[in-house]
Amino acid sequence: MKLYIEKLMIIFNREFTGYFRTPLASIFLLVFLALSAGMTFFMGQFFQRGQADLNSFFVWHPWLFLILMPAIGMRLWAEERKSGTIELLMTLPVTNSQLVLGKFLASWFFTLLAIIMTIPIWITVNYLGEPDNGVIFISYLGSWLMAGCFLSLTSCLSMLTKNQVIAFIVSTISCFIMVMAGFGLVLASVRSWAPLWLTEVIQSFSFLSHFKRIQYGVLDLTTFIFFISMIMICISINIFLVQLKKAD
């Protein structure tokens, strides 16, 4: 087990530091912070609402992650396949699960870094009023879990192509579908013809429905299990795809 974690951490470190070897990290962090702040203060009308909470901050996260998580995850496997380093990597004494987990965790913790960097917004709301910091903490946690879902899905899809642009587009569309499944308009259109159970199934798979509950400070077991199991399912499929597509 110790050896398993050791190898996983070597992969993790290479991937995590890889974000900082190119301008990708700084551009991503800058765009994420600028967009999340802009959306919170201008589109979310943070000041006009006059409420000491971060709803106007978190409400945009599914939409931001929709674009930004595929941007982070598109390179994970597509680049390895295109440059041929996948052959080097997979002839090292390492298992597919160590590779997939190491890469995924690196991208997930890089996202955590981006989320942590939004703390000034949390300080602002504490300075201006007395928000429920428990709800804010749960929202942060939920936001990170949701980002994990987007990333694991993107990682999985980036194994299917050698082209990072294709990986980005397909991932964005897939993430969009996962978000939209819980959108009122989509559910209403499904409800008109589908049985109730199908509508509920579609809604239960939506990132948006689960994230909305978290936003109000409700991190119930179902939501937690949903996000974690979504991540685990995507990682398992990713491990399978690595074995299947490595030599294509």
Partner 1 sequence: MNLLEAKNLYKSFGNINAVSDISISLNVGEVIGFLGPNGAGKSTTMKMLTGFLEADSGSIEIKKIDLSKDPINAKSIIGYLPEGAPSYSDMTVKSFLYFVGKMRGLKDELLEKRLEIMLKDINLTEVQNQIIETLSKGYKRRVGIAQALIHDPDILILDEPTDGLDPNQKFEMRKLIKSISKNKGIIISTHILEEVEAVCSRTIIISSGKVLLNKETKDILKNKKENLDSIFRKITK
What does the binding site for partner 1 look like in residue numbers (CB under 8 A)? 7, 10-11, 14, 18, 21-22, 83-85, 87-88, 90-95, 246-247
CB of 109 vs partner 1, minimal distance in Å = 18
Nearer CB in complex with partner 1: 11/39 = 11
Radius of gyration of the chain (CA): 19
CA distance 177 to 190: 14
For partner 1, the closer of residues 52 and 88 by Cβ is 88
The residue (of 97 and 126) whose beta carbon lies closer to partner 1 is 97
Q: Please give the backbone phi and psi of residue 20, each rounded to the nearest 5 degrees, phi first.
A: -95, -10
Torsion (CA) 174, 116, 113, 7 in degrees, nearest 10: -100
**Residue entry with tokens 């070597």:** 10
Min CB(44)–partner 1 separation in Å: 37
Return the closest-CA partner of residue 19 out of 93, 109, 97, 88.
109
For partner 1, the closer of residues 97 and 124 by Cβ is 97
Q: What angle do CA 236, 240, 246 make, to 5 degrees?
A: 135
Q: How far is the CB of 114 from partner 1 (least distance, A)?
A: 20
Closer residue to partner 1 (CB): 23 or 38: 23
Do the Cβ atoms of 226 and 178 come closer than 8 Å? Answer: no
Beta carbon of residue 155, minimum distance to partner 1 (angstroms, whole number) = 18
User: CB of residue 95 vs partner 1: minimum separation in angstroms?
Assistant: 7
On the CB side of 43, CA atoms within 13 Å amount to 12
Nearer to partner 1, 26 or 95 (CB): 95
Shortest spacing between CB 227 and partner 1, in angstroms: 31
Q: Quote the longest CA-to-CA distance of the chain.
A: 58
